[in-house]
Chains A and B, each alone.
Chain A
Amino acid sequence: MNDMTPTREQREAKLEGMGCKRKRVEDIRFTQGKGNYVDDLKLPGMLHGDFVRSPHAHARVKKIDDTEALKVPGVLAVITAETLKTVNLAWMPTLAGDVQMVLADGKVLFQNQEVAFVVATDRYAADDGINKVVVEYEPLPPLIDPFKAMDKDAPVLREDLAGKTTGVHGPRKHHNHVFEWTVGDKDLTDAAFRKAEVTIKEMISYHRTHPSPLETCQCVCSFDKIRGELTIWGTFQAPHVIRTVVALIAKIPEHKIHVISPDIGGGFGNKVGAYPGYICAAVASIVTGKPVKWVEDRIENLTATSFARDYHMTTEIASTKEGKVTGLRVHVLADHGAFDACADPSKWPAGFFNIVTGSYDFPTAHLSVDGIYTNKALGGVAYRCSFRVTEAAYCIERAMDILAQKLNMDPAELRLKNFIKPEQFPYHSALGWEYDSGDYHTAMRKMMETVDYAGLRKEQALLRAAFKRGETREIMGLGVSFFTEIVGAGPSKNCDILGIAMFDSCEIRLHPTGAGIARVGSKSQGQGHETTWAQIIATEIGIPADDIMVEEGNTDTAPYGLGTYGSRSTPVAGAAIAMAARKIKAKAQMIAAYKLEVHEDDLEWDIDGFRVKGLPEKTMSMKDICWAAYNSVPPGMEPGLEAVSYYDPPNMTYPFGAYICVMNIDVDTGVYKVRRFYALDDCGTRINPMIIEGQVHGGLTEAFAIAMGQEIRYDADGNVVTGSFMDFFMPTAVETPHWETDFTVTPSPHHPIGAKGVGESPNVGGVPAFSNAVNDAFSFLGSTHIQMPHDYWRNWKAAKDLGAVA
């Protein structure tokens, strides 16, 4: 070997494969303002559409007068439900099996609901136009409080459902009832409660909030009348699903619909659904024959497209005196707003909320969820979490703290006592899931040691004593959270959207010179897929990541995939990528054997190529195999080096983590300070630690915002009172705490590379850590549960209600 021969370490480093903190390829364009977002698109003759929206939460629409609007220079058309009825598009199906109005048909059911769509030559004229449309309303009594939705005399919201006693998810109990969903063994659970030595019961609410990515939802639709083809550029987390939805509802053949998701400025669940803006822009393009752009503004985004959460969870735990849990019973009142537009897999009206047994070995559990309608915006999307998993994690993590308090036990100790043990995996939960792998005790203990948990508890005890002596007005809370997520939806046996199984896909083509392209069914919104997907391929087939281009988002070129949400990209698309790469590797091995004149079985893989076992100098690099694939393949073999994989996962993956938040609160003002936040995540195999850390920082920041104030709040009349970034808590660098991250690695046994997904863990685990910190701080004053969000005035109110403030 001469000096020029690279060492194994150098060869491996050159690949920038899995485990490497590879710098992102996306950043070259993003840092130079050369990203390609939807609103950047400008087509010849392009028109703009904008919505007239309802000022009322509940009203009959008596008349829409567009006379003056049509006189505004530049305004070309005003589309209403009547217009849409001519093409049978006044209503559209939701992903949850309900239907929703595209434009107000007879009545409006929430403030800022879309009433008319004004099409004009530019966005200024469109805005002028919407201000000239005169709508006559007859206000109706609004239903805002979810707990009154099923009162006998509650107003009827959905007149279209009159007489329908059965919905897509079974019987409806009331005119404002959407569904009831039950899981678990009721009798066994009731029995556990009857026998329980200790029980707790608490109504734990998770308030309505919103994903609010920095780029709002938007699209450009362009219908080519001659070809009969519709092209849609949009902020879609799931472009293929959008294509199928459009084909089904607009009756355009699916091959004549081209959906393109360019760069997306954050999604967090907001960009999964199909919104009236997309339908109206498409119809407007069909009507006018011109491309039509629709761009939501921030107020519209916060008030009309897809809220998250709004779950009210009555939670009970049965336990022994020693703190061994024996049963869990949860009833959820789920506020879906005016239409059920949850973006959940079809058979899961409450998502995977049945992960609510969390990280604990509950022998039995029972869950029931009642979905109801109110005069609020529709949605129920997974804001940076798998479907309803953050609600579930919050529910159980808060409840475990409440139980610990009742038992006078340390909450960390209680968790350690009840964790599923490493030897119990794969673990069958009482509510039906099979947890793939986990080592909860190790993660928890590592967290406790790193932060000196015992020391913090001592400090807290001293501060509490000082508070009681009147020497300080500050109280201190330790918020422990140990979450288990369920992500990677999902196996075709139980997951589909609109009947399409939730697989994902990858197609890899290697070119003769040893570079290639990978097209994937997922769609990055900032997660860095162009960087990490190439890392998986680099490790699998020994082509440097820099030589692999990753492409997503164009339904004409990418294989069908279900998109990116619910932390499913790495568990599902990531697996498809590895499997496609392995198909390539298998063919490459045959080519190498042929060229090296040995039997395939005599070859072994070595970083970036094959070598003959026992003859380490006899090798063929993957780069050379690529060349050979195009000129000298074995007789009978097709030339080329390409593969496609559609991956139907055998199971979900179950990332977990141990978080702790240390917080002080000034009881006089309610002002809190996050002194320390430590997050240990176990997402199995780590593809790019730099990106994982970034994902955790971002998710924790969202969790911080949600727990401490980020709320979509309605007044009694149904007006949104938090409809801009002034009142919808969006923390800046000043408010945002410093984050400490850590990890353990428990690979998924069923995933090709052992990875589990991480993007959403910090949101799921973070919220209970913050809320538990606040609740822990107040607990010595006698409270058991204080509802989120924990903004300043509510903290003060808690202190006041507990007698700590005069």
Chain B
Amino acid sequence: MAKTHITMKVNGAEVEGLVEPRTLLVHFIRENLSLTGTHIGCETTHCGACTVDIDGMSVKSCTMFAVQAQGSDIMTIEGVANADGSLSALQEGFRMMHGLQCGFCTPGMILRAHRLLQENPSPSEEEIRMGISGNICRCTGYQNIVKAIQYAAAKINGVEFREAAE
């Protein structure tokens, strides 16, 4: 099958590649670009481990072809940390609130939470739960992920984080 040349911006850098039309975006990111932080969990668009941010949208990259991302602006987990290399508010929140265990869902969760907070800077617990409902975590039971996102929201908004009472 003839290959197509594609270009896009990933984590701020222009990238290019030759792909078959059927190449899934997640495979292009992981294998052509060697950005292996984006994971594959279910392949049926349920688990969200492959979530990346494309042109301001959270997208499951296992359900999009790489050719469709031609010309787009993509952020993966490798592009989330602050410019100085320190952990972003969300990354820090996940660590401080124990919002991860095996770490496999974490990149997708963080990318999804990133877009959620862009659209809703102070979400309620219910809004967070709805907002991350396209991402499955097998380890944490979500409770600490919710706290991690609340922590990040507070930090971004410059207010003190108060952990909800048990």
Complex A–B touching at CB under 8 A: yes
Measured CB to CB, the residues of A under 8 A from B are: 23-24, 26-35, 37, 39-40, 42, 123-124, 212-216, 263-266, 268, 297-299, 525-528, 690-691, 693-695, 697-698, 700-702, 724-726, 730, 732-734, 736, 738-741
CA gap between A37 and B30 in the complex, in Å = 12
Q: Does the CB pair A215–B41 fall under 8 Å?
A: yes
Which residues of chain B have C-beta atoms less than 8 A from A124's C-beta?
A: 20, 22-23
Q: Does the CB pair B34–A42 fall under 8 Å?
A: yes
Q: Which of A33, A213, A739 contacts B35 (CB 8 A)?
A: A33
4 nearest CB pairs, A to B: A33-B37, A526-B102, A30-B103, A265-B104
Which residues of chain A have C-beta atoms less than 8 A from B155's C-beta?
A: none
Main secondary structure on A side of the interface with B: loop
Q: Does the CB pair A724–B102 fall under 8 Å?
A: no
The interface centre, meaning the residue of A216, A526, A702 with most chain B CB atoms within 10 A of its CB, is A526
Q: Does the CB pair B81–A526 fall under 8 Å?
A: no
The interface centre, meaning the residue of B23, B41, B76, B166 with most chain A CB atoms within 10 A of its CB, is B41
CA gap between A35 and B140 in the complex, in Å = 17
Q: How many A-B residue pairs have CB under 8 A?
A: 177
Which residues of chain A have C-beta atoms less than 8 A from B105's C-beta?
A: 214
Q: Shortest distance in angstroms between A708's beta carbon and chain B's nearest beta carbon? A: 14
Given A27-B103, A31-B94, A214-B49, decide whether A734 and B78 contact each other with a Cβ distance below 8 A: no
Instruction: Tell yes or no: B36 within 8 A of A by CB.
Output: yes
Given A33-B38, A298-B41, A725-B47, decide whether A736 and B142 contact each other with a Cβ distance below 8 A: yes
Main secondary structure on B side of the interface with A: loop
Instruction: Tell yes or no: B25 within 8 A of A by CB.
Output: no
Q: Does the CB pair B39–A37 fall under 8 Å?
A: yes
CA gap between A297 and B43 in the complex, in Å = 7
Q: Does the CB pair B37–A35 fall under 8 Å?
A: yes
Which B residues from 24 to 42 make CB contacts under 8 A with A?
A: 27, 30-31, 34-42
Q: Which of B100, B133, B166 contacts A27 (CB 8 A)?
A: B100
Which residues of chain A have C-beta atoms less than 8 A from B38's C-beta?
A: 33
Which residues of chain B have C-beta atoms less than 8 A from A730's C-beta?
A: 46-47, 136, 138
CA gap between A27 and B104 in the complex, in Å = 11
Q: Which of B23, B40, B102, B141 contacts A700 (CB 8 A)?
A: B141
Q: Which of A39, A266, A298, A698 contacts B43 (CB 8 A)?
A: A298
CA gap between A697 and B142 in the complex, in Å = 8
Which residues of chain A have C-beta atoms less than 8 A from B22's C-beta?
A: 124
Given A701-B142, A736-B141, A739-B143, decide whether A214 and B77 contact each other with a Cβ distance below 8 A: no
Instruction: Tell yes or no: B59 within 8 A of A by CB.
Output: no
Q: Shortest distance in angstroms between A367's beta carbon and chain B's nearest beta carbon? A: 32
Which residues of chain A have C-beta atoms less than 8 A from B94's C-beta?
A: 27, 31
Which residues of chain B have C-beta atoms less than 8 A from A528's C-beta?
A: 101
The interface centre, meaning the residue of A527, A733, A740 with most chain B CB atoms within 10 A of its CB, is A733
Which residues of chain B have C-beta atoms less than 8 A from A693's C-beta?
A: 98
Q: Does the CB pair A732–B135 fall under 8 Å?
A: yes
Instruction: Tell yes or no: B7 within 8 A of A by CB.
Output: no
A214-B39, A700-B141 known; 20 new pairs, CB 8 Å cut-off, are A28-B87, A31-B100, A33-B38, A37-B39, A124-B20, A124-B23, A212-B138, A215-B102, A263-B102, A265-B103, A265-B104, A297-B43, A298-B42, A527-B101, A693-B98, A694-B139, A698-B140, A726-B44, A736-B143, A741-B166
CA gap between A266 and B103 in the complex, in Å = 8
Which residues of chain A have C-beta atoms less than 8 A from B67's C-beta?
A: none
Q: Shortest distance in angstroms between B129's beta carbon and chain A's nearest beta carbon? A: 4
Q: Does the CB pair B128–A733 fall under 8 Å?
A: yes
Instruction: Tell yes or no: B137 within 8 A of A by CB.
Output: yes
Q: Does the CB pair B100–A697 fall under 8 Å?
A: no
Q: Shortest distance in angstroms between B37's beta carbon and chain A's nearest beta carbon? A: 2
CA gap between A527 and B137 in the complex, in Å = 14
**9 sample A-B contacts, Cβ–Cβ < 8 Å, listed by A number:** A27-B95, A27-B100, A33-B78, A214-B139, A263-B102, A266-B101, A525-B102, A724-B44, A730-B46
Instruction: Tell yes or no: B122 within 8 A of A by CB.
Output: no
Q: Shortest distance in angstroms between B108's beta carbon and chain A's nearest beta carbon? A: 10
Which residues of chain A have C-beta atoms less than 8 A from B47's C-beta?
A: 214, 298, 725, 730
Which residues of chain B have C-beta atoms less than 8 A from A297's C-beta?
A: 43
CA gap between A736 and B110 in the complex, in Å = 19
Which residues of chain A have C-beta atoms less than 8 A from B58's C-beta?
A: none
Which B residues from 120 to 139 make CB contacts under 8 A with A?
A: 128-130, 132-139
Which residues of chain B have C-beta atoms less than 8 A from A31's C-beta?
A: 77, 87, 91-92, 94-95, 100, 103, 106, 110
Q: Does the CB pair A23–B46 fall under 8 Å?
A: no
Which residues of chain A have C-beta atoms less than 8 A from B140's C-beta?
A: 694, 697-698, 701
The interface centre, meaning the residue of A27, A34, A690, A702 with most chain B CB atoms within 10 A of its CB, is A27
Which residues of chain B have C-beta atoms less than 8 A from A34's C-beta?
A: 37, 78
Q: Shortest distance in angstroms between A160's beta carbon and chain B's nearest beta carbon? A: 34
The interface centre, meaning the residue of B78, B81, B103 with most chain A CB atoms within 10 A of its CB, is B103
Q: Shortest distance in angstroms between B46's beta carbon and chain A's nearest beta carbon? A: 4
Which residues of chain A have C-beta atoms less than 8 A from B146's C-beta?
A: 733
Q: Which of A29, A216, A691, A741 contacts B98 (CB 8 A)?
A: A691
Size band of the B side of the interface?
Answer: 35 or more
Closest to B126 in A: A734
CA gap between A45 and B44 in the complex, in Å = 29
CA gap between A726 and B133 in the complex, in Å = 13
Closest to A699 in B: B141
Which residues of chain B have C-beta atoms less than 8 A from A123's C-beta?
A: 27
Q: Mark B71-107, 1 if CB is under 8 A from A, else 0.
A: 0000011101100000100011011101011111111
Instruction: Tell yes or no: B10 within 8 A of A by CB.
Output: no
Instruction: Tell yes or no: B145 within 8 A of A by CB.
Output: yes
Closest to A302 in B: B42
CA gap between A632 and B138 in the complex, in Å = 51
Q: Does the CB pair A698–B166 fall under 8 Å?
A: no
Q: Does the CB pair B87–A214 fall under 8 Å?
A: no
Closest to A702 in B: B138
Q: Which of A24, A26, A33, A527 contacts B36 (CB 8 A)?
A: A33
Q: Which of B20, B106, B141, B145 contacts A30 (CB 8 A)?
A: B106
Closest to A723 in B: B44
Which residues of chain A have C-beta atoms less than 8 A from B49's C-beta?
A: 214
The interface centre, meaning the residue of A214, A734, A739 with most chain B CB atoms within 10 A of its CB, is A214
Q: Does the CB pair A32–B103 fall under 8 Å?
A: no
Q: Shortest distance in angstroms between A482's beta carbon and chain B's nearest beta carbon? A: 21
Q: Shortest distance in angstroms between A233's beta carbon and chain B's nearest beta carbon? A: 13
Q: Which of B30, B80, B100, B145 contacts A733 (CB 8 A)?
A: B145
Closest to A526 in B: B102
CA gap between A272 and B20 in the complex, in Å = 37
Q: Does the CB pair B96–A264 fall under 8 Å?
A: no
Q: Does the CB pair A268–B138 fall under 8 Å?
A: yes
Q: Which of B43, B102, B143 contacts A265 (CB 8 A)?
A: B102
Q: Shortest distance in angstroms between B115's beta carbon and chain A's nearest beta carbon? A: 15
Q: Does the CB pair B96–A23 fall under 8 Å?
A: yes
The interface centre, meaning the residue of B37, B106, B134, B142 with most chain A CB atoms within 10 A of its CB, is B142
CA gap between A34 and B103 in the complex, in Å = 10
CA gap between A216 and B47 in the complex, in Å = 12
Which residues of chain B have C-beta atoms less than 8 A from A213's C-beta?
A: 102, 104, 138
Q: Does the CB pair B91–A215 fall under 8 Å?
A: no
Q: Does the CB pair B80–A32 fall under 8 Å?
A: yes
CA gap between A415 and B47 in the complex, in Å = 40
Closest to A528 in B: B101
Closest to A736 in B: B142
Which residues of chain A have C-beta atoms less than 8 A from B134's C-beta?
A: 732
Q: Does the CB pair B44–A734 fall under 8 Å?
A: no
Given A31-B106, A298-B44, decide whether A265 and B145 contact each other with a Cβ distance below 8 A: no
Q: Shortest distance in angstroms between B150's beta carbon and chain A's nearest beta carbon? A: 13
Closest to A213 in B: B138
Which residues of chain A have C-beta atoms less than 8 A from B166's C-beta?
A: 740-741
Closest to A527 in B: B101
Which residues of chain A have C-beta atoms less than 8 A from B20's C-beta?
A: 124
Q: Does the CB pair A263–B103 fall under 8 Å?
A: yes
Q: Does the CB pair B132–A733 fall under 8 Å?
A: yes
Q: Does the CB pair B136–A725 fall under 8 Å?
A: yes
CA gap between A29 and B77 in the complex, in Å = 11
CA gap between A31 and B110 in the complex, in Å = 8
Q: Shortest distance in angstroms between B42's beta carbon and chain A's nearest beta carbon? A: 4
